[in-house]
Amino acid sequence: MASMASMAVCYSLATLSSTKPLLSHKKTTSIANLKSHGRNLQSSLVGAKLAISKTTRPLSSRRLGTSSSEVTCSTSASPLPSALLFDCDGVLVDTEKDGHRVSYNETFKEKELSVTWDVDLYAELLKIGGGKERMTAYFNKMGWPKNAPKSEEERKAFVASLHKRKTELFAALIEKRLLPLRPGVVKLIDQALAEGVKVAVCSTSVEKAVSAIVTFLLGPERAEKIKIFAGDVVARKKPDPAIYELAANTLGVDPSSCVVIEDSGIGLAAAKAAGMKCIVTKSGYTANQEFPNADAVFDFIGDPPEERFDLAFCGSLLKQ
């Protein structure tokens, strides 16, 4: 478009320069011609400017993978989400490496299973949604412990007992407040609650573990206003969209008006399959991963002066 404007300007200049000398026997006519060409030049410039402004799209306020300290927010005219839905582990608290993984290993040690999940192995296991499903997949591949039962039903009960103990150890860790909330979580939740936006936590972790995080780390007053969808409340875990679909139905909101905060690929897939907007805030285990299908990607939510985005930015995604 800039080249079109240049052509228009050059044409007008060329036309102006090709006019007859002003010192002629018809002085008044020459002056009139000069004024006429001047108007033509001005018209060409204005026309070119309008052409550019009409065809050039403004830059989006959305930023992907930013680690800048600049806040990304929308204009004041942005709509607000009907609901703000948070994943729990990795979003509210970076729990996986030093929380859940440690609790699994403590459980394995107590039960004398000779199993240890190191950091890299656990990163692979996180691609499987659900703790019981994670353990089952691991034992199916690596071999079941010698003291594990043989039948499928008994093995389900065995895994469930391991997971129950893991959850108890994890909840005790949360109650000691050894794992902090991630930056900006409280700020964003408070913004949403103040504006009447519904807030929920949707997690594949069991309800007891999620409730411990919400109650002990966010506080009982906030916890009373936050709906929890967790564990086996749905038959199919993320990346299946069932938990987000259940949340939308229960809260009485349209999925397209919801914004999800996730940290993983399976969580992102679940949110998008449910027809919702999704912001990824990378966690310790997903810091080096790419999320091309996300509506926005940040390193964390952030508090001022390190704020990355706010409720208004969440609302701006609904217009895209």
Catalytic residue numbers, as ranges: 87, 89
How far is the C-alpha of 186 from the C-alpha of 67, rounded, in Å?
A: 20
How far is the C-alpha of 200 from the C-alpha of 173, rounded, in Å?
A: 23
Assign 122 to helix, strand or coil: helix
For 10-44, b where at least 16 C-beta lie within 10 A, e where not — what string? Answer: eebeeeeeeeeeeeeeeeeebeebeeebeeebeeb
Rg (Cα) of the chain, in Å, rounded? 30
In contact, 275 and 256? CB cutoff 8 Å:
yes
Q: How far is CA 134 from the centre of its chain?
A: 24
How far is the C-alpha of 74 from the C-alpha of 61, rounded, in Å?
A: 7
How far is the C-alpha of 199 from the C-alpha of 88, rounded, in Å?
A: 12
In contact, 201 and 230? CB cutoff 8 Å:
yes
* Closest by CA position to 136, among listed 112, 169, 163, 96: 163
In contact, 74 and 279? CB cutoff 8 Å:
no
In contact, 203 and 88? CB cutoff 8 Å:
yes
- Extract the runs of DSSP E, i.e. beta strands, from 94-215: 198-203
